[in-house]
Structure 1
Amino acid sequence: MEPLGEVAAQLLDRVRRLRPLVHHITNVVSANDVANATLATGALPVMAHAAEEVEEVAATASALALNLGTLTPRRVEAMRLAGRRAGERRVPVVLDPVGVGLSRLRADAARRLLREVPVTAVRGNLAEMAHLAGGEGFLRGVESVGAASPPQEVAREVARRHQVVAAVTGPRDWVTDGVRFVAVDNGHPWLTRVAGAGCMASGVVACFLAVADEPLTATAAALAYFGHAAERAAGQACGPASFRVALLDQLARLQPQDLRAGVRAGLVELPAAPHGG
């Protein structure tokens, strides 16, 4: 595999040259920030969520991002319709299972989407992803407070169980297709102090997948780019509010050459999963 900094640089350049349309069905808390993060990365956002139009919109997009943050049964149906249309066109689909262990509605929605939509990548915090792995994750609201298994094993189980690229984000991001693992060390603790930061990260993953041929490295490269922007933003900010603004600025200001030098990520060899795991 090429160095991930080089992969990230090439994909960022491609996003900015091609300006792919990314369809987000996201939550009301973070929709504006997700749209702006998409623009800052270089892609074009469309935020359509009405069930009556999502199939038409998904048919024109280069990637689809589904977010469970502020969920209703009607929105779940819109996600299903858009996801199936994206699948028909072989368009990559990103699922962000926000708070999936918090309620039956969220758990049922995540299971249904993973069953009926050809999801490409799933990005979530440790507790959310542990729930999708069939294990135990601990949430307070939609924030992770831990899990019974280490993040790399949670990611492996999600990837294998659901046939997706799985990304468990935290102090170190773990990205896997169930066989290969990429560890991403870019990021900053202030990302946990901004509502919607994870939603923005998932949106950036969709931007990179829109122009990529290989989903594992594209997902890891997107998270490294997002994390490096956060590192640079923290150097300019005095707290979470100014950090949020600086993060959008840095997503826009980062250039491909910055990623070649600034990405801290790469393949990691892990022991094989236990038999039956």
Structure 2
Amino acid sequence: MKTFGKVWLVGAGPGDISLLTLKAMMCIKQADVIIYDRLVNPKILEWALPDCLLINVGKNPGFHCVPQDEINALLVQYAQTHHNIVRLKGGDPYVFGRGAEEVEDLVESGIPFEVVPGISSTIGGLTYAGIPVTHRDFASGFHVVTGHTREGNQQQDWRQLAKLNGTLVIVMGIANLAFICEELLMGGKAADTPAALIMSATRENQRRLTCTLGSLLGKAQEANILPPALIVIGDVVTLSDRLSFLPEAITLPEHLYCESLA
């Protein structure tokens, strides 16, 4: 019976290296192969073993240098030749990260796997911008959607989403911002609804722009907001100035991340 290595689907968090979980760090420090995405903080890769094979399969907007099917095949390929393979993804593997698609291929090939959750930018990114995704006085729930659906799939029903209460968080929506704003307004969302854009959330170059839904497109163009950026629409945005903070780096004791996964 053929034996395989194990594939770890690891969430790298939203960008700030200190938001990586301890388990994710241990996976990285013991990996033989790391197959990583574009939005992963490159400093994380410095924890890799000297002889670890690093493979960049990052996707840029509108251009995928390595198609998803090939990434799935790489995981299967290296599981046949190496012991610990880490598939390192920005945020959380199962939040718009295609992690489930990769796991499905691993299951079909009989390859052992484990998923290590990460802090999603849809929550952590808002937190670093001073925006709580829920608040008893403003939003009792939230909705997270993508502004970029798979080619051939139906667009989001923005007019229906406009009718929902709570906070609306949109990822991968900057290229489609004009259409999104127009459709939300056409669906009945008030033009004076508080809105925000968070570019490079949790990173040193993070930028936050707050305005209203009616002015969102113009403000984004004036500020030259580029991906990766989050779109947030809802009353919780009004708290951003009051709840904003400057994150402080924290150094962990060496013994906390040197334990073995075995």
Task: Looking at secondary structure, tell me which structure has more strand per residue.
Answer: 2
Q: Which structure has more helix as a fraction of its residues?
A: 1
Structure 2 length as normaliser, TM-score? 0.30
TM-score (norm 1): 0.29
